[in-house]
Amino acid sequence: MMAQSVPHQTTDKKRVKVYELRNNDWFDRGTGFCTASFVQQEEGQPKEPRVIVESEEDEERLLLETKIVKDDGFQKQQDTLIVWTDQGTDMALSFQEAEGCALIWRFIDGVQQTFQGINGGPDDGLSDDLAIDIPTAIQLPPAELGTLLELENNMRLMSSNANGRDALAKAIMRDDYISKLIPLVEMAEDLESLQDLHRLCNIMKIVLLLNDTSIIEHAVSDACVLGVVGALEYDPDFPSHKANHRLWLNSQGRYKEVVRIEDDQIRRKIHQTYRLQYLKDVVLARILDDPTFSVLNSLIFFNQVDIVQHLQSNGGFLNDLFGIFADPSEEQLRKKEAVLFIQQCCAIAKNLQPPARQTLYNNFLTHGLLRVINFGLRNFDVTVRVGATDILVSMIDHDPQMIRHTIYRQIQEKQMPLTDTLIDLLLVEVDLGIKSQVSDALKVLLDPTPPGPPEARGEFIVGQPRGRGQPTIDPQQDLFLTHFYEHSAVRLFKPLIDLEKRVEMKFSVVNDGVFGYLNDILCFYIRQHQHRSKFFVLQHNLAQRFNQLLSCKEKHLQLVAIRFFRQLVVLQDDFYIKHIADKQILGPVLDVLLRTMPRDNLLCSACLDLFALINKESIKDLIKHLVENYREKIMALAYMDTFREIVNRYDNTQGYTAQVDPYFLESEDEVGRRPTNSGSRGMMEHLAVDPAQEEYWNASDDEDENPARPTPDQGVTTNGSTPKPLVEYTSDEEGDDNGDAVMTPAASLSSDENSKENQEPASGSAPAVGPPPERLSEKRRREEDEDDVMDKLVHHKRRNSSASASSSTSNHSTAALRKKKGFGGSRDASPNGPGQKKIAISISPSIKNSAAVKSLAGGEEDGK
């Protein structure tokens, strides 16, 4: 076989745009000049075929340099586009002229043919890249009804591997096989051969799913598109159903030219784009694989780029398009079609890069886009209103500051601003979708927060100190807000302001829906506009207007009012808290709750949530306002924790504390069972308590376990049994050596019960006369009931008879102890002598400061 000639390198530089696919979106890498040639990278190495794009702005900077290898999959799409894969990244070259694209493509295609080894390679350096599995030239059977089964089987077999798919795609394009299959569709329909129609449908699916751009472009051409979709109408997966793709595409009313497009190539791309979208979204939606889906999206995207660039650069076309709305004698139908055409252009612009999108919007605004939006928003046709709203939202999503500047220019020129048009549409619109979009637009346009980083907007950044300054506001935006509150705010909230004149709160279904949107907008303005919104709410008494909605029968209107009041409480702004209290707002909310309380519904939950928020955040002014003005209503709801805590917080702390002692929050039954001087007891619970002392008093009493009656001669405070000593003394000699006895409250000294000496009264003292001493447990209960601790705080102003009896008993016990231990008497008796008995004395805190203890201390001093 003869060797193929070497492809000639291109010497002319062709202007081209370089695109790169990133995250399923084509990114514009720049504009430059493209050349394709064999380049020697290093000395002694063979030349390599490369495609190079030099930057248009800087010739020394390369936008692209890619080596042509056999696995890149270079493909030519349309007349000005070449796509391929470079190291796993999809790339594309969009040429300005079809001639330049054809020149570069001839070089690339020649190199690719060389790699496939059809006639051998021209350069030894390419021998390493030759394909191993060389697909042989295939010959498809003739396109006839009798060979459809064989044709289907052969195509299915060849499409199972990559080399077969390439060979099959080349054979189809070489023999123009699609054009040969199209007449068979009509023949099979005339013969009513459903089996042949199903085979034709399968064959057409295989052809389109070969993922070849040339085949897809040929399939959607004017000559082939109806035959291709006609074959796909008879899907064997649904044998009893038939689609109507041809009827849809053949409708002459689908394509309408509002303004004549003179460029035939752009017109063909518009038709082709529409057919590609229909093929992707309808015909092949169920069977599309990822590669074919990507190819279809790429074709659609680059078509749209070419269309938009042509339209925005054509000044005469834009003048004719926007001149339609300047002519009052123009037909309304043509104006409607112009609005829908601009809507389609803005929808296409969403897929463009931000610079290209910005250029398109600027050109539209320069030629009078706002006049189009004003016309569309005020039109009686809902389709036109939807289109105009969609145009506005697209521009706001792209750059709201651009629209703000335009509105500011309207204000300076004494024109009706766009915001007033949006307000009029919001108040009269029936379509909920349009209302929602207009409401969002009014929020975004009146947001004073400037674009930029968080620190520029005055926001708090983690790890940095919080600034005290308010977020900076653009002076132009500040003037815009001032104009809005002076002229447009009353217009926007007119349905609320007019409630003051209404006696009956009855609204039509069309009119009552606006209050929900006004509530959302007003809450947004209250959060963002600070002093302006405060003055506006106070001036027009809007809180009272929302309060009127609570008397409506419709629950959704009552919920609107509850949501507004909750927003004011959430802010915890002193101005709004005082405003709620002054206007008696919470009383009607309590009435709504009392009416709906037997039922469990959303309105009841919203009311409960409002009062739970007040209680949780401990808003003292509102708590005081509620209890002082609506105590009876709150007590009727006091079986719920929220309202019981509100009342108890006010009764005990006047609502001026966030932390309330649990004692104050007990139920009424629990409060009734507590001592009468509960206020003093509650105050004492805040005093510091020694943990060791508290543990001792909480422990069980040994006297309770062995309740034996003491003998009068013992003169001790125990119940007859030997208590477990708190301090054990190993020997009485230790006390003698020290010359004193260690006495502590409730101290115990072990004694010998068999000693007869202790059974006699102490010398010089009379036997103890009076009631026996109290048990420790009874003593503790009495101390709690009589609040002896408070008596100590007021310097023992109260002393009862029981305390006196205990004091005399202690004096008797102290005298006996002093005699036995030698305090103030003779020391003849040895502590360890025979018959000696040790005495246990228990002194409670209530008597440790009594005269007996004082005398004991005096005896200790004498002993020393």
Give pLDDT, residue 423.
Answer: 92
DSSP per residue, 715-733: --SS-SS-PPPSS--S-HH
CA dihedral (338, 339, 341, 343) in degrees, to 10, reads 170
570, HSE (Cβ side, Cα atoms, 13 Å)? 12
How is the chain split among helix, strand and coil, in percent rounded to 5? Answer: 55, 5, 35
- Tell me the domains of the chain and their CATH numbers: 14-129 (2.30.29.30), 145-313 (no CATH), 691-863 (no CATH)
Residue 75: per-residue pLDDT: 83
- Tell me the mean pLDDT per 10 residues along the chain, length 864: 43 80 81 84 75 84 83 77 81 83 82 60 39 54 88 86 85 89 91 91 92 90 90 90 87 74 88 91 88 89 88 88 87 90 89 86 89 89 91 90 88 88 89 89 84 43 40 73 90 91 79 88 91 91 91 90 93 91 91 86 91 90 90 90 89 61 46 41 43 60 47 42 46 43 38 41 41 58 59 45 42 42 41 42 43 41 42
Helix spans in 674-830 (H): 678-684, 691-698, 702-705, 732-738, 776-786, 788-793, 801-821
The strand pairing partners of 22, in sequence order, are 25
Beta carbons of 54 and 30 less than 8 angstroms apart: no
Query: Does this model's pTM top 0.75?
Result: no
Q: Which residue has the tokens 């390198």?
A: 9
What pLDDT score does 77 carry?
A: 79
In terms of Cα–Cα distance, which of 587, 514, 513, 605 is closest to 550?
587
CA dist list (Å): 557 to 283, 546, 711 = 47, 9, 83
What gap in Å lies between CA 774 and CA 677, rounded to an integer? 24
Looking at residue 822, its pLDDT comes to: 43
What pLDDT score was predicted for residue 230? Answer: 92
Q: What is the pLDDT of residue 501?
A: 84
